[in-house]
Structure 1
Amino acid sequence: MPSPSPSPSTILNSQPSRPEDRAALGLPPMSYVEAVQSPRHEDTESSAFHKGGFELNKDTIQVLEPTSPNAQGVSQRNGLTSAPLPRGALKNCGSHGPNNVNGPHRNGRPDTTLRSRGGSQHASIRWAPLNIALERRLQTLVVLFHTITIPIFLTAFFFACAIPLFWPLLLPYLVYISLFSNTATSGTLVRRSRFLRSLRIWNYFASYFPARLHRSVPLTATRKYIFGYHPHGIISHGAFAAFATEALGFSTLFPGITNTLLTLDSNFRLPFYRDYALAMGLASVSRESCENLLSKGGLDNAGMGRGITIVVGGASESLDAQPNSIRLVLKRRKGFVKLAIRTGADLVPVLAFGENELYEQLSSDQHPLIRKFQLLVKRTLGFTVPLFHARGVFNYDIGLMPYRRPLNIVIGRPIQVVQQRDRAKIDDAYVDELHSKYVRELQRLWKDYRGVFAMERTSELEIVA
C-alpha cells in the first residue's frame, strides 16, 4: 500500500517555528532571520512574527508583505511610503524580534518583577552580556552621547574656564552669545551643516530603537510647511532622528524641502552646546524664529520649500508620557495654527508610534503631589522635570538610556492654509476650522496605523487641554 503523500506544510518546512512547539520537541529556538526566511505553516490566528519593527498577524499580513524597494530603497505598503531601514536595524532585532532587545520581557516590556530565591524575594538587575556585537555597542554609545549632550558641552565649557589660557577667547564669546548673536532666530540657517547631519553615527542612533520614517503622501517643494510632532515623549528622540539628521531619509521622502527642528530658545544660551545645535540645523521655537524661517530662503527666497517642526505638546505633554498610551496636549494649542495662517504654511500632523514607550515614568494619577510640584517648576522655570527611568548602558533595568523599542514616525496629509498676514484680520472661526482638520488628520493616522504600530496599546488616542 503506497504511503500517503506528505502535506504541503511538511514539504515546505519539516520543523515548526513556534517557540513552544520547538521546545516540546527539544529543538533550539529559531533566530529572527530564520523565522523570517522560513515559510509559515502554522495557524495564522495564533502565531505572529516581527519584521523590521512591524508585527505580522492575520489582520495585518496583507499590509506587511515583502515589498520591492525602488532605487533609493523607498518601499510602499498600506498607503505609506517608507524610507529604508537604518543600517544595522535588522541586526538590532536579535534572536527574538525587535521588541525583545532589552533582555527578557513580557508583552514587549522588560520583566522587572521580583524573583524568588531560597524562599525570599529580591529585585534582580539584569546585566547586559559582554559578548554583544560591536555595532550594538556603537548604537548605545551614540544614543548615550545624544542623551547627555548638554552636560557634555557644559562640562567642556567649565573645564575651559578653569584654564586661564582660554579666558581671552571665552570672554568675548560669552558677550557675543549673550548680547549680539541672533543666529538661532534669524532664519538664515547659515550655521547648518549638511555634513554633520549626514554622519554615519546617526544611522547608529536610528538603528538603536530601530526608528523608521513613513509618509502618507508626497509634499511639493513649492509650498511651506509646519510639521506638528506628537507626542512629545520624555526627550523626543524620534523628532531628532527624523528631522535633525538624515538617518531616516527625510530628504529622500521629501526632496526639495528644507526642514528645521525647533527647540527652546534657552538652549541657545548654553555655551558650546548652542554651536552644536546650530550645526545640527536646530533653531529657536520663538515666534520671531518661526516667521523668519518661513519667510526667508527657499526656492523664491521667501520661504517656499521650507518647513519647520514643532513639538506642539511641549513640556506639559512630557508629563503624560506613559507606555502604550498617547495623551496629547492639543485642545487649546492654536498658536501654531495662527502662525500657519500668517505665513501661508500648510499644516502637516506627525504621529510617532513608540515615542512614549522609550521610558517609564511615575504616573501622575498615583502621585498627585509630585505632579503639582512638576507643574510649579514649569510655571516658574519654563521647563519640567519628569521623573523617569529606563535602562542603563550595561543593564536592562536601571538608568536614563531609552529602551530599545521600535519607533515609527508617520507623516500625515498636508492641510492647506490660506495666508492672512495681518494678525488683526485673522478670523477665529478659520483658526478653529483648521485646528479641527488638524485633529481629525491626527485621529486618522491613529486609527489607520494603530493596528500595525501600536499592537500593545492599553488605551486609545486621547486629546486633552
Structure 2
Amino acid sequence: MVKIFGIELAPLHIPMERRLQTLAVQQWTLSFLFLGFGCLIVMIYLLFTSYYWIPLIYLVYYVYDRKKSARGGRRCQWIREWAVWKYFQQYFPITLIKTADLVPNKNYIMGFHPHGILSVSAFCHFATEGSGWSKIFPGLTPYLLVLPGHFQFPVYRDYFMAGGAVEASSESMKFLLTKHGTGNALGLVVGGALEALEAFPGRFNLKLANKKGFIKMALRTGACLVPMFSFGEHELFVQAENPEGSRLRNIQNWLTKYTGFSPPVFHGRGMLNYTFGLVPYRIPVYTVVGAAIEVQKDEHPSKEKIDDLHQTYLKELEKLFEAHKTKYGVPKDKHLHFIE
C-alpha cells in the first residue's frame, strides 16, 4: 500500500465487486448527511428561475401530504430491493441474526442498540432488504423510526419514506400499533441522538436509564418489546474524544437540545484511501435480535408498572448482550452501562 502525506491510498487493482460495495456505502452516507439540505437548496433556487412552478406545486403537495410520515409512510418494495442495498450490506458485511421467532399476528417495538454514529445497521435492516429482513422474519413489515425533522426536507422525505422510514413520534407509533393491523415491527433506536456522542469502540454506554416513553407506548398498545444489539456498530467510524464537561461535549449537547440532531465529530475512510473520509470502515456488523417480551395492554399504566417493564427490558437486553458478546469480539470483562 502507498502512503502520501500520511494518507494510505487504496490499491488500484481491487475487484469491481468491492468497488461497487464501497460506492454503495458512499452514496448512502452522502445522501444521509447532505441530500435533505441539497433538495431544499435546489427548491429555493428554482423559485428564482422560470421553473418556479415546480417548488410551488411541491409545496401544495407537501401541505396535503405532510402527515403521511406519521401515518405509516409510503413504502416502495421496489426501492427497498434495489441492488445497491445488497452491495451496501456486503461491504461490511451486516448480518441479521434471529434467536427466536416473531409471529405476524402481533405488533412489535424493536429496541435497537447502540445508536452508533449514523445507525448504519438499523438503516440496512429496517429501511432496505439488504440483510434479508423479509426472509428472516416473514410476515413482519419493518419500519425505521427516525427524527421527524427528516420529513421536513422536500423530495428527500419521499425518498426516505419509500424505504420504510416513518416519524419517531408517539402519534406515528400509536397509528402503526393500533390502526394499521398486525405484523408491524417498529425499529426504534431508543438511545436517541445524544447516544451517538457515546459511540466509541469498546465502550457500551446506552442512554436508557430514563428512556421510558417506548415502554409506556408498549403498555398502552399491548405491543411486544424486542431488544436488539448490533455488535460492531461502534467500530464503523472514529469519533473525536468528547468527555462530559469538555468544551466539545458542551457544544454538542447544546446543538442537540436545540436542533434535535447530534453533531458528532467523526471520520471514516475515503473512496480511494483508508485514512480519512465519510465512508464507514469495512468492519463486520452482527445484529442479534432477542426474544419478544410479552406486554399486557393497559391504556392507563401506573408509574410502577412502567418502571417494572422498563427494568425487565433492561435485563433482557443485558442478557442478550452477555450471551452473544464473546462470539462477536467483545471481551468478557466488557459490560453494558445504562446512563442518563
Task: State the TM-score bracket (shorter-chain normalisation).
Answer: over 0.9
Query: Is 1:436 matched up with 2:311?
Result: yes
Identify the residue that residue 326 of structure 1 maps to in structure 2.
Answer: 204
How do 1:55-454 residues align onto structure 2 when only pairs under 5 Å count? 124-150=6-32, 151-152=34-35, 154-156=37-39, 158-159=41-42, 161-163=44-46, 164-178=49-63, 181-187=66-72, 189=73, 191-297=74-180, 303-365=181-243, 368-421=246-299, 425-454=300-329
Letter of the structure 2 residue corresponding to residue 173 of structure 1: Y
State the TM-score, normalized to the length of structure 2: 0.93
Question: Match of 2:288, as an amino acid?
Answer: V
Please tell me whether the aligned partners of residues 154 and 272 of structure 1 are also in contact (alpha carbons under 8 angstroms).
Answer: no
Contiguous gaps of at least 5 residues in structure 2: none
Q: Which amino acid aligns with 1:282?
A: A
Q: Which amino acid aligns with 1:146?
A: W
Greater relative contact order (Cα < 8 A, sep 6+): 2
Preserved contact between residue 160 and residue 166 of structure 1 (Cα < 8 Å):
no
TM-superposed CA distance for 1:216, in Å, is 1.0
SS of alignment partner, residue 413 of structure 1: coil
Aligned with 1:262: secondary structure?
Answer: strand
Amino acid in the other structure paired with 1:375? N
Q: Per-residue deviation at 1:410?
A: 0.4
- 2-structure distance, mates of 1:207, 1:389: 21
Deviations along 1:387-437, one digit per CA (max 9) or x if unpaired, are 11111111111112110001000000110001112xxx3111111111111
Distance 1:331 1:169, change over 3 A: same
Unmatched runs of 5 consecutive residues or more in structure 1: 1-102, 105-114, 116-121, 298-302
What is the CA-CA distance between 1:268 and the residue it aligns to? 0.4
Distance in structure 2 (CA, Å) of the matches to 1:318 and 1:416? 29
Larger deviation, residues 409-418 vs 364-373: 364-373
Matches within 5 A, 1:29-68: none
Using the TM superposition, give the Cα deviation of residue 440 of structure 1 relative to its aligned residue in structure 2, in angstroms: 1.0
The CA distance in 2 between the partners of 1:370 and 1:292, in whole Å, is 38
Question: Matched residues in 2 for 1:175 and 1:239: separation?
Answer: 32
Query: Is the Cα contact below 8 Å between 2:236 and 2:280 reproduced in 1?
Result: yes
Cα distance in 2, alignment partners of residues 179 and 221 from structure 1: 32
CA distance in structure 2 between the partners assigned to 1:458 and 1:126 by the alignment: 33
2:50 and 2:334 map into 1 onto residues whose CA distance is 58
The structure that is helix-richer by fraction is 2
SS in 1 for 2:135: helix
Following superposition, the deviation at residue 156 of structure 1 comes to 4.7
Q: Which amino acid aligns with 1:406?
A: P
Deviations 1:343-387 (A, max 9, x none): 110000000000000011122238711101111111122221101
Opposite residue 181 of structure 1, the aligned amino acid is R
- Contact 1:217 1:412 survives alignment (8 Å): yes
Contact in 2 for aligned 1:323/1:356 (Cα 8 Å): yes
- Rg bigger for which structure? 1
Equivalences, count: 337
Q: Which residue of structure 2 aligns with residue 22 of structure 1?
A: none
After superposition, give the CA deviation of every residue in 1:172-224 in whole Å (9 maximum; x if it has no partner).
3124325652110113x4x2101110111111000111110001100111111
Secondary structure at 2:51's aligned position in 1? helix
Q: Percent identity?
A: 38
CA contact (8 A) 2:325 2:331 kept: no
Give the distance between the partners of 1:283 and 1:176, measured in 2 at CA.
Answer: 18
Residue 166 of structure 1: how far off its partner (Å): 2.7
After superposing on structure 2, the runs of 4+ consecutive aligned residues of structure 1 that deviate more than 4 Å are: none
CA contact (8 A) 1:392 1:399 kept: yes
Amino acid at match of 1:201: V
